[in-house]
Amino acid sequence: MFKNYLKTALRNISKYKIYSLLNVLGLAIGITSTILIIFYIRFEFSFDNFHKNGNKIFRISVISSRAGSVEMESPIFVPPIGPAMKDEFPEVKQYTRFSTLRSMYFYSGENYWKINNVSYADSTFFEFFTFDLLQGDKATVLTKPNSVVLTESTARKIFGSENPIGQIIKVGNKDVYKVTGIAKDPPANSQIQFNALLSFPTLYSLPGFYMGWNGGNQYYTYVLLNNSASKNSVESKFPNFMWNHINKRLSKIKIEFKPYLQPLSDIHLKYNQASGSGLTNIYIFSIVALLIIIIACINFINLSIARATKRLKEIGVRKILGAKRKSLFIQFLTEYFLISFFVFFTVVALIEVLFPYYQNIVGENLSSINPFTISNILFVLGIILLVGLVAGGYPAFYLSAAKPVNSLKGEILFKGNKIRTRNVMLVIQFAISVALIISTILISEQLSFINNKDLGFDKNNLLVVPLLNENSQKTADTFISRLENIPGVINSTASSDIPYNDFTQNGYFPQGYNSPIMIHALDVDANYLKTFGIKIKSGRNFIPGMTSDSSAYLINEALANQLGWKNPIGKIISRNGRHKVIGVAKDFNYSSLYSDIKPLLITEKPFRNIFDYVTIKINSSSVKNTVGAIRKVWKGVNPTAAFEYTFLDDEIDQLYSSEQNFRGIFFTFSLLAILLALLGLFSLSSLTTEQKTKEIGIRKVLGDSAGGITFRILKEYIMLVLLSNIFGCLASYYFMNKWLNNFAFHITQGVGVYLLGSLVALAFGICVVIVHAIKAANSNPIDSLRYE
């Protein structure tokens, strides 16, 4: 019996080749798109799930308050908190710490390399986290000062095929380190990334590093709790713990630190800087995946219904000859499952071809996702069979229920409630399309806004040279003075940081305040504002060579507003002495546009009298020659230091790479969803013209024009598409409002965007329907009546 079902199914599939091809491709594209989105979502939720004791590992984050008002929160804190918790909390089994990431030069012999993502890490690091150590002992690789563990790729870069263990390298061409271990590169789904780890004990012997409770905030601390311990039990002890170690002393100036624990598995999507937009993106992609599969199922049903009108007589004959409803139902369902079989192999082929390109679109290395594991293949097969059952079962049920007399007469099954159901499907499909079109426009406008927004300084043609070793820091003034002789150099300046991803913060006592407040700080030379094109609102800038300016401060408008200073010039801000405010700089964005412009003060006296960057304003007409001349000057001043540079606008663009990737993937899948929706409308309009064959013939015989017939067919769809526009606009407004709110600076959702998106969807819909309408209206009425 099954053999007959299968033969009949193959015969019908081959008989209606175009229909079968549309069904297979439509469903395959929809399912492939959904599965690729699911792979991305699974990757995002897989972060840090490979650590052996991950469910008991927590990161410490600290909320700092002044006079009961929260000033900031950060997982970067002073180093003693971990050891103190280990000593005083029975719940804490172990802790580990590592510093914020930095870039350093590594020297081996006469060669040197710039290594990014370098951190100082505790001796417990490799016992704490499940990072593979290929060479070395986990318990000892980072116990001694001046030890270094390199990742596999970093070791290969420096030493080639030579065994790195025991080799000596210099960091910054000054400090000597011994290679004690080689670690496998951290997986892509780890929020902890590193290329080299320097031993934490080294910090205690280095000058300028404060390792006590009054130390510099530049360390992450993670704790491992005992199996019987809970997060809440540990957090309940924090008030007394912090009071004894630091808060009691700071209570006199009304400052308080409140730690809490962040579960390791939640850090990537809840507690990192871009977690807000990342989680929103996942929600949006989840919805897009669901919408695509809904559209694909609706298309499958509609195409099946469209073909059903051509098989009504077949159904009637089968029933007269004794076919039962059950056997007809199984017959049609067999066809749909056979189509699902073809869909499965099409989906597998599409994933194989598209997966590498997909990784480029999403901007992620999805190496932790293997599309062709047995579990993933079963997952794909399960989705396809489920879709085949749901999408194929609906038309199979109604086709098998047809009465023989109606089938032989060619009467349409899908009237009344069925037509309303069909119209609901159309509204859903086009509402999705409208929402996706509008959302794509808004995302593009927001990213264009980011790229073109006035940041308060000129980011163009600014070449940034990091000063990564002691010699380059000491010779910065010489380097800058020699740059003046290069024709393509407009201006140059030295600073402690560059304005693209926030500045450091310190505590200061503004005039009239009895307790310190945290203020972002930037150390510069007198040419900084001129080089960056930052304007002075009131007062004056630093004057080159004026000795008194070394103790003066500039502040930005945000700080003046926070302090309530209407006339800040001459006000005093205290920290390691009294500092007079000599000018107010106009606000500029020194962090990403996710954040508001925060209070800032600018000094002319850098920490330890060294700067970390030289920024050079160059002429855009001779970039290549100017960079070559700058390189030659650098080599003359720093013959042993590598010449590394970036352009500031590239660094700023990199801040929004995830948004650019989001736009790429959203646009790609939105386009697919819209094409699938148009395919659905194509099939539905085909069904309508099939149903109206006799009516169209009679109207033409009675003298109705082709234009009148076309308008009548088009009219019923225009109302449905207009209704779709309303629902689509509402959905788009809701989700785009949530996405835009991740940015402190964003576009306003204007009515024009919604009108444009609606008109585009309406135009697409009309074009698709009008193809069938014109064809039906221009058909020969004799053929139409004979058809009936």
Instruction: Write the DSSP assignment of 657-722 as a string of letters.
Output: HHHHHHHHHHHHHHHHHHHHHHHHHHHHHHHHHHHTHHHHHHHHHTT--HHHHHHHHHHHHHHHHH
Angstrom distances, CA of residue 565 to CA of 511, 534, 572, 578: 10, 21, 11, 17
Q: Are 149 and 182 a contacting pair, CB within 8 Å? A: yes
Q: What is the mean pLDDT of residues 500-510?
A: 82
Q: What is the mean pLDDT of residues 18-38?
A: 80
Q: For position 25, what pLDDT does the model report?
A: 80
Q: For position 63, what pLDDT does the model report?
A: 92
**Structure-token pair, residue 326:** 């059950």
For residues 29 and 295, what is the distance between their CA atoms, to the nearest angstrom? 11
61-70, 369-378, 410-419, range with the lowest pLDDT: 410-419
Q: Report residue 540's pLDDT band, with 50, 70 and 90 as the boundaries.
A: very high
Q: Which residue has the higher pLDDT, 229 or 775?
A: 229
Q: Report residue 205's pLDDT band, with 50, 70 and 90 as the boundaries.
A: confident
pLDDT in tens, 551-590: 899 999 999 998 889 899 999 999 888 999 999 999 999 8
What domain range is 669 assigned to?
A: 434-453+650-788
**Structure-token pair, residue 609:** 């009298």
**Structure-token pair, residue 765:** 């819909």
User: Is 317 inside a domain boundary?
Assistant: no
Q: Report residue 740's pLDDT band, with 50, 70 and 90 as the boundaries.
A: confident
Assess whether 440 and 548 both reside in one domain. no
Q: Rounded to 5, what percent of the chain is helix, strand, coil?
A: 55, 20, 30
User: Is 581 inside a domain boundary?
Assistant: yes
For residues 123 and 146, what is the distance between their CA atoms, to the nearest angstrom? 12
Assess whether 442 and 553 both reside in one domain. no
**Structure-token pair, residue 203:** 């910090």
Q: Check whether 21 has a pLDDT greater than 80.
A: no
Listed residue (100, 59, 30) closest to 235, CA to CA: 59
Residue 572, beta-bridge partner list: 580
Q: For position 417, what pLDDT does the model report?
A: 47
Assess whether 677 and 565 both reside in one domain. no
Number of domains in the chain: 3
Of 649, 674, 699, the residue at which a domain comes to its end is 649
Q: Report residue 702's pLDDT band, with 50, 70 and 90 as the boundaries.
A: low
Of 271, 300, 315, the residue at which a domain comes to its end is 271
Give the Cβ contact number of residue 58 at 10 Å: 23
Q: What is the mean pLDDT of residues 346-353?
A: 86
Of 627, 649, 671, the residue at which a domain comes to its end is 649
Amino acid symbol at 534: I
Coil/strand/helix, residue 138? coil
**Cβ neighbourhood burial of 728 (10 Å; 0-12, 13-18, 19+):** buried
Assess whether 439 and 542 both reside in one domain. no
Q: Check whether 437 has a pLDDT greater than 70.
A: yes
Q: Check whether 271 has a pLDDT greater than 60.
A: yes
Assess whether 760 and 685 both reside in one domain. yes
Q: Check whether 665 has a pLDDT greater than 80.
A: no
Assess whether 683 and 573 both reside in one domain. no
Q: Which residue has the higher pLDDT, 401 or 86?
A: 86
Listed residue (515, 627, 507) closest to 575, CA to CA: 507
User: Is 529 inside a domain boundary?
Assistant: yes
HSE-CB of 482 using CA atoms within 13 angstroms: 15
Coil/strand/helix, residue 489? strand
Long-range contacts of 506-512 (CB under 8 A, 24+ apart): 506/575, 507/255, 507/575, 508/573, 508/574, 508/575, 508/601, 509/573, 509/574, 509/575, 510/563, 510/571, 510/572, 510/573, 510/574, 511/571, 511/572, 511/573, 511/574, 512/563
Q: Which residue has the higher pLDDT, 777 or 416?
A: 777
Specify the length of the chain in residues. 788
**Over pLDDT 90: what percentage of the chain?**
29
**In the block, residue with structure tokens 């407009």:** 490
User: Is 13 inside a domain boundary?
Assistant: no
Q: What spatial distance separates the first Cα and last Cα of the chain, rounded to whole Å?
A: 34
Q: Check whether 407 has a pLDDT greater than 60.
A: no
Q: Are 332 and 392 a contacting pair, CB within 8 Å? A: yes
Highest-scoring range by mean pLDDT, 273-282, 588-597, 774-783: 588-597
Residue 256, beta-bridge partner list: 65
Q: For position 509, what pLDDT does the model report?
A: 87
Assess whether 75 and 93 both reside in one domain. yes
Long-range contacts of 359-367 (CB under 8 A, 24+ apart): 361/661, 361/664, 361/665, 361/668, 362/40, 362/661, 362/664, 362/665, 363/657, 363/658, 363/660, 363/661, 363/664, 364/40, 364/43, 364/188, 364/661, 365/188, 366/39, 366/40, 366/43, 366/188, 367/187, 367/188
User: Is 352 inside a domain boundary?
Assistant: no
User: Is 354 inside a domain boundary?
Assistant: no
Q: Are 361 and 666 a contacting pair, CB within 8 Å? A: no
Assess whether 213 and 136 both reside in one domain. yes
Q: Are 607 and 523 a contacting pair, CB within 8 Å? A: yes
Assess whether 552 and 617 both reside in one domain. yes
Coil/strand/helix, residue 510? strand
pLDDT in tens, 123-169: 999 999 999 999 999 999 999 999 999 999 999 999 988 999 999 99
Give the Cβ contact number of residue 131 at 10 Å: 21
Assess whether 656 and 773 both reside in one domain. yes
Q: For position 41, what pLDDT does the model report?
A: 85
Q: For position 748, what pLDDT does the model report?
A: 87
Mean pLDDT of the chain: 81
For residues 402 and 691, what is the distance between their CA atoms, to the nearest angstrom? 16
Amino acid symbol at 557: E
User: Is 700 inside a domain boundary?
Assistant: yes
Provide CB contacts within 8 A for 64, sequence distance 6+.
70, 71, 72, 73, 74, 255, 256, 257, 258, 518
For residues 175 and 145, what is the distance between their CA atoms, to the nearest angstrom? 11
HSE-CB of 514 using CA atoms within 13 angstroms: 5
Q: Check whether 668 has a pLDDT greater than 60.
A: yes
Assess whether 621 and 669 both reside in one domain. no
Assess whether 441 and 522 both reside in one domain. no
Q: Report residue 692's pLDDT band, with 50, 70 and 90 as the boundaries.
A: low
User: Is 391 inside a domain boundary?
Assistant: no
